[in-house]
């Protein structure tokens, strides 16, 4: 049986998409040192929540999803009015239109899916994606961004 360090190619591409979509903006706002701190803290809380919720404590957990989820959480707090541009395509890939969706809507849908899949996965011995790890990283990112904002203002 072949084992991946990540849940698979689609998961890896999803991680890269979220990092591209949110990462640079958060780093530009916080600076690279704070961004590194955010990434590290998110990875640690992600691993902690995953380990505390995993039914099988021997499951290896390798990846950056939790840290990237922290970047998403920080983005939600630091850029609450941001919008994400979506291109909508019709049949056979023909371009239809462009629309803008508030980032908070996109992020809350993502968070809701992670919570739902995490609940469905609870108690399972087979874990391909650490959904609770995503949520732990997200929580760390929200906390980090709130602390960052308060320290910058005060």
State the pLDDT at residue 3: 46
Catalytic-role residue among 42, 46, 69, 134: 134
The answer to whether residue 46 is catalytic is no
Per the domain annotation, does 51 fall within a domain? Answer: yes
Catalytic-role residue among 42, 46, 65, 69: 65
Per the domain annotation, does 40 fall within a domain? Answer: yes
Our CA dihedral for 18, 19, 22, 28, rounded to 10 degrees, sits at 180
Per the domain annotation, does 24 fall within a domain? Answer: no
Cα gap 129→106, rounded to integer Å: 20
State the pLDDT at residue 55: 65
Per the domain annotation, does 7 fall within a domain? Answer: no
Say how far residue 47 (Cα) sits from the centre of its chain.
Answer: 13
Per the domain annotation, does 13 fall within a domain? Answer: no
The answer to whether residue 42 is catalytic is no
Q: Which range marks the domain in which residue 76 is found?
A: 32-153
Per the domain annotation, does 138 fall within a domain? Answer: yes
Supply 7's token pair. Answer: 């849940």
Q: Which is more confidently placed, 145 or 11?
A: 145
Per the domain annotation, does 80 fall within a domain? Answer: yes
* Three-state SS at 82: coil
Cα gap 50→60, rounded to integer Å: 11
The mean pLDDT value for 112-116 works out to 94
Say how far residue 38 (Cα) sits from the centre of its chain.
Answer: 12
Number of domains the chain contains: 1
pLDDT tens for 24-57 read: 999 999 999 999 999 999 999 998 888 887 766 6
Per the domain annotation, does 119 fall within a domain? Answer: yes
């Amino acid at each position: 049986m072949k084992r991946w360090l990540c849940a698979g190619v689609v998961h890896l591409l999803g991680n890269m998409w979220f990092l591209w979509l949110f990462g640079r903006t958060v780093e530009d706002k916080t600076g690279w040192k704070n961004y590194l701190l955010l990434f590290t803290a998110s990875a640690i809380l992600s691993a902690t929540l995953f380990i505390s919720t995993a039914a099988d404590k021997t499951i290896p957990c390798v990846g950056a999803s939790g840290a990237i989820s922290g970047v998403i959480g920080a983005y939600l707090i630091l850029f609450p009015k941001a919008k994400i541009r979506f291109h909508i395509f019709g049949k056979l890939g023909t371009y239809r239109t462009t629309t803008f969706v508030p980032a908070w809507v996109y992020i809350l849908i993502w968070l809701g899916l992670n919570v739902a899949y995490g609940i469905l996965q609870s108690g399972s011995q087979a874990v391909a994606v650490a959904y609770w790890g995503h949520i732990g990283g997200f929580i760390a990112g929200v906390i980090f961004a709130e602390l960052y904002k308060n320290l910058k203002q005060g």
